């Protein structure tokens, strides 16, 4: 019988993935679900942008890929970078339920193994939750009124619309962003309460809630 040995890089990648997703002890089940859901609220809009702008898929209303960018930066590349950055930013919410949100990982120079100050995590997360909630609520509200955030009337071929399937697809892709801020706020509160009353790095028991 042939046996397969996992490559060292694959082993390290699997260990890093497990460490990034394994919650610490006493994390409420709802907080785990909320934290894991946050990157998923960003994913649909990221995929829509990449498909419509980078790959020029015929799924968007109007002309896509136009904008004010430096001549050296193609819009197609910018959209990919923006989407990856958005996903990474959303993924930081998982740190609020994981060990690397309580103790700095080994790859952080000068801080590895040290406890993460509670306010160093809570303040950025709380500010981010507030900004995201305000920003996306405002954007979706004014767009539903046919205006942009400056009060100008939206063009007839604006990507988000309720008048055809392309517009509805864009609405479905961007609507989950309304949940990003509130979910982050809820997970931040849970993190703050847990860190105030428990010691960090208590491993979660299998099947625990």
Please state the domain extents for the chain: 26-197
pLDDT score at 53: 92
Distance separating alpha carbons of residues 97 and 184, to the nearest angstrom? 11
Calculate mean pLDDT across residues 46-65: 87
Contact of 101 with 160, CB cutoff 8 Å:
no
With a pLDDT cut of 90, the percent of the chain lying above it is 50
List Cβ neighbours of 127 (8 Å cut-off, separation of 6 or more): none
Distance separating alpha carbons of residues 58 and 3, to the nearest angstrom? 46
Looking at the predicted structure, is the pLDDT value of residue 107 above 90? Answer: no
Q: CA separation (Å) from 93 to 80, 145, 164, 201?
A: 21, 31, 35, 17
Q: CA separation (Å) from 188 to 101, 102, 135, 150?
A: 11, 13, 18, 31
Distance separating alpha carbons of residues 123 and 128, to the nearest angstrom? 8
Q: Tens digit of pLDDT for each residue in 151-172?
A: 889 888 888 888 899 999 999 9
Calculate mean pLDDT across residues 47-76: 84
pLDDT score at 158: 86
Confidence label for 207 from pLDDT (cuts 50, 70 and 90): very low
Q: Tens digit of pLDDT for each residue in 15-48?
A: 666 666 667 778 899 999 999 999 999 999 999 9
Distance separating alpha carbons of residues 64 and 158, to the nearest angstrom? 10
Confidence label for 133 from pLDDT (cuts 50, 70 and 90): very high
What number of H helices and E strands is found in the chain? 6, 0
Task: Please indicate whether residue 23 or residue 124 has the higher confidence score (pLDDT).
Answer: 124
Distance separating alpha carbons of residues 44 and 64, to the nearest angstrom? 17
| Tokens 């909630």 belong to residue | 133
pLDDT score at 203: 46
Distance separating alpha carbons of residues 179 and 160, to the nearest angstrom? 18
Looking at the predicted structure, is the pLDDT value of residue 2 above 70? Answer: no
pLDDT score at 3: 54
Task: Please indicate whether residue 85 or residue 110 has the higher confidence score (pLDDT).
Answer: 85
């Amino acid at each position: 019988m042939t046996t397969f040995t996992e490559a060292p890089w694959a082993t390290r990648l699997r260990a890093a993935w497990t460490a990034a997703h394994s919650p610490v002890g006493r994390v409420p089940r709802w907080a785990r679900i909320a934290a894991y859901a946050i990157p998923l609220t960003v994913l649909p809009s990221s995929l829509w942008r990449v498909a419509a702008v980078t790959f020029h898929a015929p799924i968007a209303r109007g002309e896509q890929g136009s904008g004010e960018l430096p001549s050296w930066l193609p819009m197609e590349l910018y959209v990919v970078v923006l989407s990856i950055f958005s996903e990474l930013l959303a993924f930081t919410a998982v740190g609020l339920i994981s060990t690397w949100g309580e103790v700095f990982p080994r790859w952080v120079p000068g801080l590895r193994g040290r406890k993460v100050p509670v306010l160093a995590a809570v303040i950025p997360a709380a500010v981010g939750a507030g900004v995201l909630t305000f920003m996306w609520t405002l954007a979706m509200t004014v767009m539903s009124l046919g205006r942009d955030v400056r009060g100008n009337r939206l063009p007839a071929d604006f990507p988000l619309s309720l008048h055809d399937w392309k517009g509805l697809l864009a609405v479905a892709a961007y609507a989950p962003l309304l949940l990003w801020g509130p979910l982050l706020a809820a997970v931040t509160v849970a993190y703050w309460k847990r860190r105030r009353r428990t010691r960090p790095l208590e491993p979660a028991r299998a099947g625990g809630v």
